[in-house]
């Protein structure tokens, strides 16, 4: 069904994607539709077909290589071969790119190391470390993940802490927590009530990470717009329309604020564990909030992954944020080899050039993802032209310090 909205006619186009509306609203829209059809002043164009090209004549700086070698703290080279509703069930890994294929891009783009956050658990983790980290020392680092499929075991807290220690012995450099915790994991794993991020059953796991100096890369919640209705007011309408399962509006989902507070309680309770709070502290829409948390929690750092679009649309605020927290921001992209479905995180030359352009130049109004239509929302970004000492820290030093790599 296609609803056309009169308010868009002023732009010479019609809204061609389906928007859920009530019966009365539909009837009203149908009335407007009929009126508009008789009105020949307006061309018809579905929103999905709209690809405006900027006529703005401004400088375009191509940054083929980063100014300094870098560590990409946030990539996904492997995934579990079997998962259900966000829970990885099989230890066996599926690899999304071969080391040689990845190394070619890495060498072209000045990427010294990629951190594969989704290294998995048990034998799968061992396998990932063997195939990448150990085969190409200094180029790949793997993080472990919790085995939620064991969550029902009565001794799960101890089993999980022991698995972290085993992962450390196998070569894992940190622990990755996906948004699964807080949004998917339930008491009966895939059913029942949602398990809270600060559930005490995970305390031994956080403690193990602190003892073993394994940083915890934690993804909590998601963009704020994913918690609001997928309607015409939603700034990520097209993204949610393409991926309806990314909406956490309604059902029994906690609010964004509840999720972030639960995460904060974990950081407060485990001051010796280092938390890399991914995606700019998972609240890049509100850098004041992220700043407050960085001030409150000395054990917190953030990465930039998949949020260049958010940072770049608030360049002045972002620049101040990088100035102030230059020792606590890590370069990350969320790059996924062959992840063409998500242009904002597909591992290729173009993606890295966008990040470099944002960090290193003062270019204006450019695309934040290699895509015909901006995939996360219809806006463009501006560079923040960081000075060299900050670039060095963000590209390499901050991550190297957390991972225990020599600078
Ligand atoms: Zn990610």
Quote the mean pLDDT of the chain: 91
Residue 2 Cα to ligand 1 middle (Å): 34
pLDDT band, residue 394 (cuts 50/70/90): very high
Residue 3 Cα to ligand 1 middle (Å): 35
pLDDT band, residue 218 (cuts 50/70/90): very high
| Residue 268, phi then psi, degrees to nearest 5 | -70, -40
pLDDT of residue 122: 97
Taking only the tens place, the pLDDT of each residue in 325-370 is 999 999 999 999 998 888 999 999 999 999 999 999 999 999 999 9
Residue 1 Cα to ligand 1 middle (Å): 34
DSSP-assigned letters across all residues of 96-107: SS-HHHHHHHHH
Residue 143 Cα to ligand 1 middle (Å): 12
pLDDT band, residue 20 (cuts 50/70/90): very low
Structure tokens at 370: 């290699």
Q: 320-331 in b/e burial notation, b at 16+ Cβ within 10 A?
A: ebbeebbebbbb
Query: What gap in Å lies between CA 172 and CA 330, rounded to an integer?
Result: 19
Higher pLDDT residue, 298 or 7?
Answer: 298
Query: What gap in Å lies between CA 183 and CA 86, rounded to an integer?
Result: 9
Looking at the predicted structure, is the pLDDT value of residue 183 above 90?
yes
Residue 332 Cα to ligand 1 middle (Å): 9
Residue 246 Cα to ligand 1 middle (Å): 14
With 0-12 / 13-18 / 19 or more C-beta atoms within 10 angstroms meaning exposed / middle / buried, residue 148 is buried
Contact (Cβ atoms closer than 8 angstroms) between residue 55 and residue 381: no
Query: What gap in Å lies between CA 347 and CA 339, rounded to an integer?
Result: 7
Query: What gap in Å lies between CA 32 and CA 84, rounded to an integer?
Result: 43
Structure tokens at 275: 């938390």
Query: What gap in Å lies between CA 355 and CA 312, rounded to an integer?
Result: 10
Looking at the predicted structure, is the pLDDT value of residue 165 above 90?
yes
Residue 330 Cα to ligand 1 middle (Å): 14
Mean pLDDT of 285-299: 98
pLDDT of residue 130: 98
Our measurement of the distance from residue 10's CA atom to the centroid of its chain's CA atoms, rounded to an integer in Å, reads: 35
pLDDT of residue 341: 84
Query: What gap in Å lies between CA 152 and CA 72, rounded to an integer?
Result: 35
| Residue 111, phi then psi, degrees to nearest 5 | -90, 110
Residue 116 Cα to ligand 1 middle (Å): 9
Mean pLDDT of 288-313: 98
Helix (H) or strand (E) holding 321, with range, is helix 315-324
pLDDT band, residue 43 (cuts 50/70/90): confident
Q: For residue 44, what are the CA distances in angstroms to 6, 10, 11, 12, 233?
A: 12, 12, 11, 8, 21
Q: CA 125, 126, 132, 133 torsion: positive or negative?
A: positive
Query: What gap in Å lies between CA 281 and CA 275, rounded to an integer?
Result: 10
Contact (Cβ atoms closer than 8 angstroms) between residue 187 and residue 44: no
Report percent pLDDT > 70 for the chain: 89
pLDDT of residue 406: 83
The closest alpha carbon to 339, from 243, 403, 248, belongs to 243
The closest alpha carbon to 393, from 406, 381, 403, 407, belongs to 407
Query: What gap in Å lies between CA 11 and CA 50, rounded to an integer?
Result: 11
Looking at the predicted structure, is the pLDDT value of residue 7 above 80?
no
pLDDT band, residue 253 (cuts 50/70/90): very high
Query: What gap in Å lies between CA 319 and CA 1, rounded to an integer?
Result: 44
Mean pLDDT of 358-387: 96
Query: What gap in Å lies between CA 196 and CA 187, rounded to an integer?
Result: 10
Residue 89 Cα to ligand 1 middle (Å): 18
Looking at the predicted structure, is the pLDDT value of residue 29 above 80?
no
Structure tokens at 260: 């972030």
pLDDT of residue 22: 47
Query: What gap in Å lies between CA 113 and CA 102, rounded to an integer?
Result: 10
Residue list, CB under 5 A from ion ligand 1: 334
Taking only the tens place, the pLDDT of each residue in 315-327 is 999 999 999 999 9
The closest alpha carbon to 6, from 27, 36, 34, belongs to 36
Residue 4 Cα to ligand 1 middle (Å): 36
């Amino acid at each position: 069904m296609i609803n056309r909205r009169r308010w868009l006619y002023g732009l010479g186009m019609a809204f061609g994607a389906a928007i859920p509306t009530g019966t009365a609203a539909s009837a009203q829209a149908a009335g407007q539709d009929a009126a508009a059809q008789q009105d020949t002043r307006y061309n018809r164009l579905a929103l999905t077909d709209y690809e405006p090209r900027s006529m703005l004549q401004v400088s375009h700086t191509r940054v083929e290589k980063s100014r300094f070698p870098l560590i990409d703290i946030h990539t996904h080279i492997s995934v579990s071969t079997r998962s259900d509703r966000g829970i990885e069930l099989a230890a066996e890994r599926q690899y999304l790119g071969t080391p040689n294929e990845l190394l070619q891009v890495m060498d072209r783009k000045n990427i010294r190391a990629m951190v594969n956050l989704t290294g998995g658990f048990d034998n799968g983790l061992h396998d990932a470390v063997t195939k990448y980290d150990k085969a190409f020392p200094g180029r790949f680092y793997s993080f472990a993940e919790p085995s939620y499929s064991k969550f029902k075991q009565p001794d799960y807290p101890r089993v999980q802490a022991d698995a972290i220690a085993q992962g450390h012995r196998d070569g894992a450099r940190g622990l990755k927590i996906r948004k699964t915790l807080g949004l998917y994991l339930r008491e009966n794993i895939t059913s029942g009530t949602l398990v809270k991020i600060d559930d005490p059953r995970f305390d031994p796991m956080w403690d193990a990470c602190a003892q073993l100096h394994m940083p915890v890369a934690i993804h909590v919640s998601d963009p704020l717009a994913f918690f609001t209705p997928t309607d015409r007011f939603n700034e990520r309408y097209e993204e949610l329309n393409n991926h309806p399962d990314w909406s956490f509006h309604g059902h029994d989902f906690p609010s964004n604020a509840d999720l972030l507070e639960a995460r904060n309680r974990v950081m407060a309770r485990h001051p010796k564990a280092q938390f890399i709070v991914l995606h700019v502290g998972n609240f890049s829409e509100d850098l004041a909030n992220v700043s407050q948390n960085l001030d409150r929690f000395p054990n917190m750092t953030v990465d930039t992954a998949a949020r260049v679009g958010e940072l770049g649309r608030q360049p002045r605020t972002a620049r101040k944020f990088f100035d102030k927290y230059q020792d606590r921001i890590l370069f990350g992209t969320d790059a996924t080899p062959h992840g063409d479905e998500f242009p904002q995180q597909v591992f290729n030359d173009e993606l890295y050039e966008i990040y470099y352009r944002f960090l290193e130049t003062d270019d204006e109004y450019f695309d934040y993802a290699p895509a015909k239509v901006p995939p996360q929302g219809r806006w463009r970004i501006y560079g923040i032209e960081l000075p060299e000492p900050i670039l060095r820290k963000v590209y390499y030093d901050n991550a190297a310090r957390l991972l225990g790599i020599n600078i």
